[in-house]
């Protein structure tokens, strides 16, 4: 028998629920659309139904250690209240049990999540990278989220199409009713100039954000995850361009070999020599939020 926990990744587009055992193995994952238009009660009802079904299915496998929920917004940890959620309209001040639709973040210090004074640390998606940029759902302008999220990629593609300068994107959008960031990425790796420019903006926004974090924290590693991270090859070169330009700390601590800092394929940390700043992509991809949420109950019971 192996104890397990339930992890929930509640995003603005997808709702995913998974059972994960103590060894970190994903036992089963359920993926649903987040139908926010039907209201928060409907979404929470669907979430609870999936949790109950997984719990019942694996009750003979071990003890349920708890349920962890990742929500894209500002959480009051003491009360469990969701204070603000730009990508979940109508969810502000809601009681609820982290590159996708939006941009989230987390800070890990000495092996533990750093929550900050009120549990709201790591709100990187709403750091300003362009003061007069597009309006964000949080009320600010030019947030990272307006450039480096899947929603932003689609918005920038539609803007390019409307301008008349992106015929390949226009054809892709007309032929696919569910035109998404993946379609833009496919054109980018095929060499379409306008699609490449869009991922250039993604990378530069992330580069500015990460450069500020490197300057502020001087941590050994910064990891980019979420669904959009699957387009790493398209935007990561621009991250490193911005880092070299905007962070003296990164310039002084960048790995000597491009294959050891995420600029190449390995993402391995150099084991010898002076300390280096590693920038790489998450190995768990879009499932990172699920694993993280499922790990929370395990951590608290260990």
To which residue do tokens 């603005």 refer?
Answer: 12
Nearest to 283 by CA among 275, 291, 294: 291
Query: Which pLDDT belongs to residue 215?
Result: 95
Nearest to 216 by CA among 274, 141, 277: 277
Question: 124-285: what CATH class?
Answer: alpha beta
Whether 97 contacts 81, CB under 8 Å: no
Residues listed for the chain: 302
Rounded to whole angstroms, how far apart are CA atoms 221 and 163? 39
Domain layout of the chain by residue ranges:
4-97, 124-285
Same fold, 4-97 and 124-285: yes
246: left (phi over 0), alpha (psi -120 to 50) or beta: alpha
Please, is 206 exposed, middle or buried when counting C-beta atoms within 10 Å of its C-beta (0-12, 13-18, 19+)?
buried
Count Cβ atoms below 10 Å from residue 14 Cβ, excluding itself: 16
Q: Which long-range contacts (C-beta less than 8 Å, at least 24 apart) are formed by 211-215?
A: 211/242, 211/243, 211/245, 211/246, 211/247, 211/250, 212/127, 212/246, 213/124, 214/243, 214/247, 214/249, 214/250, 214/277, 215/246, 215/247, 215/248, 215/249
Whether 220 contacts 192, CB under 8 Å: no
Whether 36 contacts 98, CB under 8 Å: no
Fold of the CATH domain 4-97: Nucleotidyltransferase; domain 5 (3.30.420)
Beta strands in the chain (DSSP E): 4-10, 14-21, 26-33, 64-70, 74-76, 81-84, 94-95, 108-109, 112-113, 221-224, 278-281
List per-residue pLDDT tens for the chain, 302 residues long: 678 999 888 877 788 899 988 888 889 998 887 776 777 778 888 888 889 999 989 888 788 888 888 877 777 666 667 777 777 777 777 765 745 556 878 888 888 888 888 777 888 888 999 999 999 888 899 999 999 988 899 999 999 999 999 999 999 999 988 888 989 999 999 999 999 999 999 999 999 999 999 999 999 999 988 777 888 999 999 999 999 999 999 999 998 754 444 544 334 444 456 789 999 988 877 777 778 777 877 775 44
Whether 86 contacts 149, CB under 8 Å: no
Which pTM was predicted?
A: 0.70
Rounded to whole angstroms, how far apart are CA atoms 284 and 266? 15
Beta strands in 11-91 (DSSP E): 14-21, 26-33, 64-70, 74-76, 81-84
To which residue do tokens 């991809």 refer?
Answer: 285
Looking at the DSSP assignment, which residues form a beta bridge with residue 8?
Answer: 17, 69
Nearest to 296 by CA among 2, 1, 7: 7
Rounded to whole angstroms, how far apart are CA atoms 279 and 267? 8
């Amino acid at each position: 028998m192996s104890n397990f926990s339930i992890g929930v990744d509640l995003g603005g587009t997808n709702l995913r629920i998974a059972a994960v055992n103590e060894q970190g193995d994903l036992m089963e994952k359920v993926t649903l659309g987040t139908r926010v238009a039907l209201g928060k009660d409907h979404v929470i009802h669907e979430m609870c139904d999936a949790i109950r079904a997984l719990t019942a299915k694996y009750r003979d496998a071990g003890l349920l250690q708890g349920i962890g929920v990742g929500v894209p917004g500002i959480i009051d940890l003491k009360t469990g209240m969701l204070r603000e959620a730009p990508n979940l309209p109508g969810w502000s001040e809601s009681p609820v049990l982290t590159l996708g639709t939006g941009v989230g973040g987390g800070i890990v210090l000495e092996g533990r999540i750093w929550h900050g004074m009120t549990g709201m640390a790591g709100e990187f998606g709403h750091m300003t990278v362009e003061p007069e940029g597009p309006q964000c759902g949080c009320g600010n302008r030019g947030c990272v989220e307006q450039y480096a999220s899947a929603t932003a990629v689609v918005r920038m593609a539609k803007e390019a199409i409307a301008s008349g300068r992106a015929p390949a994107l226009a054809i892709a959008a007309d032929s696919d009713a569910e035109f998404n960031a993946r379609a833009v990425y496919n054109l980018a790796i095929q060499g379409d100039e306008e699609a490449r420019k869009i991922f250039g903006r993604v990378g530069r926004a992330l580069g500015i954000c990460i450069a500020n974090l490197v300057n502020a924290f001087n941590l050994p590693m910064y990891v980019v995850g979420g669904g959009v991270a699957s387009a790493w090859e398209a935007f990561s070169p621009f991250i490193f361009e911005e880092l070299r330009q905007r962070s003296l700390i990164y310039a002084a601590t960048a790995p000597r070999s491009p294959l050891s800092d995420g600029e190449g394929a390995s993402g391995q940390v150099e084991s010898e020599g002076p300390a280096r700043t590693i920038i790489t992509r998450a190995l768990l991809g879009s499932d990172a939020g699920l694993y993280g949420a499922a790990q929370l109950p395990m951590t608290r019971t260990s």
